[in-house]
Structure formats: structure tokens, C-alpha cells
Amino acid sequence: MKSRAHDDAMAELYSKDPEFARQVINSILEDENGDQGELLIVLRQMAKAFGGVQAVAEQAHLNLTQLYRTLSPEGNPALSSFSAILKAMGLRLSVQPMHAPAAH
């Protein structure tokens, strides 16, 4: 598990550069070997960056303990919780084609 200092440093980085945070999430999601635990750690760090975990929990209509459990490396959020957490941080899920359609 990453140290608290690392989480704080990443939260600060994501706070200063929200586009980088979005790119990190997308790179994890696009990796065919993407690690769900890694994704949840990044989301926890982002929650700290975007108003704090308590503020994200309130906006996502989740209790604080539930959000911490959800965003733990062993968490397994329901799609509704995952979407609510992203929405609280000003993000949303999107479906994209894996490959560009072939030109005719």
C-alpha cells in the first residue's frame, strides 16, 4: 500500500492539474491489464484533491465510511456508487470505440 505522504502528494498534483488526473484514470481504464485497486486508489487521491473525501461523500450521497471502503484497494463499488463518486468530482463514465471505424 502506498504511504499517506504519497497520497497527499498525488492529491496535490491532481488538484493543480485536473486534466492529468483524468488522463491517469483513462490510462488505467484503457489498460487491458488495468488494476481495479489502482483505479480506486487514484479515485481516493482525487477525492482528497477535489474538496476532500467528506465533501465527495456528501455530494455522492454516500456515508464517509462507505466511501472509504469503496475506495480502498479491495473495494468493489457498484456502478451507481462509482458514477456518483465521479459525478461528485465533475467527471462521468463514457463508452468509446476500441478502434476507429475503417474508412470506406
Instruction: Read off the pLDDT of residues 27-73 as tens digits, 9 standing for 90 and up.
Output: 998 888 878 889 999 999 999 998 899 999 999 999 999 999 999 88
Q: Are 54 and 87 in contact (CB under 8 A)?
A: no
pLDDT score recorded for residue 96: 79
Tell me the pTM. 0.81
- Distance CA(6)–CA(99), nearest Å, equals 35
Radius of gyration from C-alpha coordinates of the chain: 14
